[in-house]
Amino acid sequence: MNLEQAIEHWFAQGAAAAGSTDAVETFNWLRNELEAGNIRSAEPDASTPTGWRVNAWVKRGILLGFRVGQMTDMSGGALSFIDKATYPARRFGVDDGVRIVPGGTSVRSGAFLAKGVVVMPPAYVNVGAYVGECTMVDSHALVGSCAQIGSRVHLSAAAQIGGVLEPINASPVIIEDEALIGGNTGVYEGTIVRKRAVLAAGVVLTRGTPVYDLVRGEVLKATAEQPLIIPENAVVVPGSRAVNKGKGAEWGISVYTPVIVKYRDEKTELSAALEDLLR
């Protein structure tokens, strides 16, 4: 069997897989391929409506790792850690070309970080995540399970990129190349942020969040077939819209909504130039 077939076989065994060394070996094979970037939970595919194909079998394999792993003591020094043996913290060498700055960062095994990635402390990168070359993961940033982060992306301080393992067929969050994700942002529930888009500090994007494009006069929403998609080069800021019915209108209540106020230009390039100096 190839890797996909082996994962599907052992995942179908349910709880019975927990006692099998063959199942553990199959999962370790998957984990090594994920860390090498040879397989991904989602990958570019121009033939699909979103431009991405979700590999649901990879997510089933990640869940298999939790099923077959035994609890073990992973403590080091004065710190105590107890987790599944199948998911130790990932270790890096100089040859990996990844900067892991001292101060409390953790990268889980089964995550891929390309050469030139910088991770500032404290940050967390979960299993199945893919982080492209020369991306900056800043302090207190989270890259959730199976999230796909492109090359030369800046995840600013406290940016939260949501993970997804359940439901199996749900799409992971995708941040495409050269996007700038501002501080204290949150991107969740399979949202796709296209190339070179900018999310200003405090923007929150979910499947149920409508985004108002003031430039093109459109309202962007997720549908049953595809997630919320932020267009290429869009600059998104936090905004609000008035409630025009019932007590909301009577009380003058407004609700949060992200707003596209412009598309990326030379001035936006200058505001992002600091990232290169940090390398």
Q: Mean of the pLDDT values across residues 239-255?
A: 94
165-216 confidence digits (pLDDT tens): 866 668 999 999 999 999 999 999 999 999 999 999 999 999 999 999 999 9
Q: Mean of the pLDDT values across residues 237-259?
A: 94
Task: Please say whether the beta carbons of 169 and 64 come within 8 A.
Answer: no
CATH topology of domain 1-70: 1.10.166
98-124 confidence digits (pLDDT tens): 999 999 999 999 999 999 999 999 999
pLDDT for 146 equals 97
CATH 1.10.166.10 domain span(s) along the chain: 1-70
Q: Using alpha carbons only, give the angle 55, 178, 134 rounded to the nearest 5 degrees.
A: 85
CATH 2.160.10.10 domain span(s) along the chain: 91-279
Q: Collect all residues with Cβ–Cβ distance below 8 Å to 249 and sequence separation of at least 6.
A: 242, 243
How many C-beta atoms lie closer than 10 Å to residue 154's C-beta?
A: 23
pLDDT for 77 equals 81
Query: Is 0.85 topped by the overall pTM?
Result: yes
216-241 confidence digits (pLDDT tens): 999 999 999 999 999 999 999 999 99
171 three-class SS: coil
The DSSP annotation for 107-158 comes to: EBTT-EE-TT-EEPSS-EE-TT-EE-TT-EE-TT-EE-TT-EE-TT-EE-TT
CATH architecture of 91-279: 3 Solenoid (2.160)
pLDDT for 31 equals 98
Check whether 6 has a pLDDT greater than 90.
yes
pLDDT for 112 equals 98
Q: Mean of the pLDDT values across residues 21-39?
A: 97
Six token digits for residue 166: 């359940």
Residue 6 Rama label (left phi>0; alpha psi -120 to 50; beta): alpha
